[in-house]
Amino acid sequence: MILPSVLDLSPIVDGGDAKLAFRNTVDLAQHAEEWGYHRYWLAEHHNLPGIASAATSVVIGHVAGKTKSIRVGAGGIMLPNHAPLVIAEQFGTLESLYPGRIDLGLGRAPGSDQLTARALRRYLGSSGDTFPQDVLELQSYFRPAASGQAVVAVPGAGLNVPLYLLGSSDFSARLAAELGLPFAFASHFAPEYLRAALEIYRREFTPSDALVRPHVMIGVGIFAADTDAEARRLMTSAQLMFLNLVRGNPGKLPQPVESMDGLWSPAERRTVEQRTRFSAVGSPETVQRRLEELLDETGADEVIATAQIFDHAARLRSFEIAAGAFREINERAVTRAK
């Protein structure tokens, strides 16, 4: 059985603001719960005009409070930006408020440019180079406090909030394997090292108290509509947003266009299409076929779907179509297993 999940960047659209983005996020989360998605993750990014989820733990609490059963978490918290104790306290608080529903995905990148990264963490002295030590420290805060322990996460100690490692290279794949943690690969925007990273993770995986066998999550862009042509049109918003990032000029999520012709150079087109090739774009039938291809290619246990779609109603429809595709894929798997 493939677990379908959602990764939401709380997009701020042209003409919109963060208030609208959060309202849309809650609405999507409530629909995702209704459609059978397993978890709903929010991502930490900073100093980007088109992403509203910078204060990730705050948004997670808001979404968890507006839903009933779906798991809610971070995909992820960029640990170099934070002291591990602070994250333990934040997610200990969330787990205490919404027991059994909170996930903590951890990333090694800052989720921003270097100037913003320095503004975030100032003189705490951490960087990606201390990520393994920071993860171990964070794990220690979630264990039951020992007698005489000098620093205790309150709340946090003894809550065992589940950790997931996120990555776009082999670094976090090796660490997730060593620690026996689930591994989520950012194939929705950085697919180049996917195959190598998954091979390393599976080969080197060591069972732990958290996980007895490897658990692979892959990020997939989902742009689904009633027709292939409409889905391709919806995707142009994400392509334009990514193009602006490539050009060093990030902005809000733009409206879709009928064609990208003339809006990018051949080199820019190759870059954007390569970085976003792990996407399912099209009608319900096309999206299902593409998802089956990606699952066959990766052997993933879970797909975490994301979609930067300008129109909220179209975004809802895209995730609804994807939910139907996942149900059909799982039903076929059950039938084959009989």
Torsion, Cα of 87, 90, 95, 98 (10° steps): -140
Would you say 181 and 138 are in contact if contact means Cβ atoms under 8 Å apart? no
The count of other CB atoms within 10 Å of the CB of residue 247 is 10
Would you say 287 and 280 are in contact if contact means Cβ atoms under 8 Å apart? yes
CA angle 137–77–322, rounded 5-degree value: 135
Q: Read off the pLDDT of residues 133-160 as tens digits, 9 standing for 90 and up.
A: 999 999 999 999 999 999 999 999 999 8
Residue (of 7, 3, 277) closest to 166 by Cα position: 7
In single-letter form, the type of residue at position 120 comes to: L
In angstroms, the Cα distances linking 256 to 60, 126, 306, 311 are 28, 40, 17, 9
Residue (of 59, 40, 24, 18) closest to 252 by Cα position: 18
pLDDT given for residue 115 in this prediction? 79
pTM higher than the cut 0.85 = yes
CATH homologous superfamily for the domain 3-337 = Luciferase-like domain (3.20.20.30)
Long-range contacts of 140-148 (CB under 8 A, 24+ apart): 141/84, 141/85, 141/88, 141/92, 142/88, 142/92
pLDDT given for residue 87 in this prediction? 98
pLDDT given for residue 109 in this prediction? 80
Query: What is the average pLDDT score of the chain?
Result: 95
Would you say 195 and 294 are in contact if contact means Cβ atoms under 8 Å apart? no
In single-letter form, the type of residue at position 73 comes to: G
Q: How far is the C-alpha of 40 from the C-alpha of 304, rounded, in Å? A: 9
The domain locations on the chain are 3-337
pLDDT given for residue 122 in this prediction? 52
Residues of the chain with pLDDT under 70: 110-112, 121-128
The rounded radius of gyration (Å) of the Cα atoms in the chain is 19
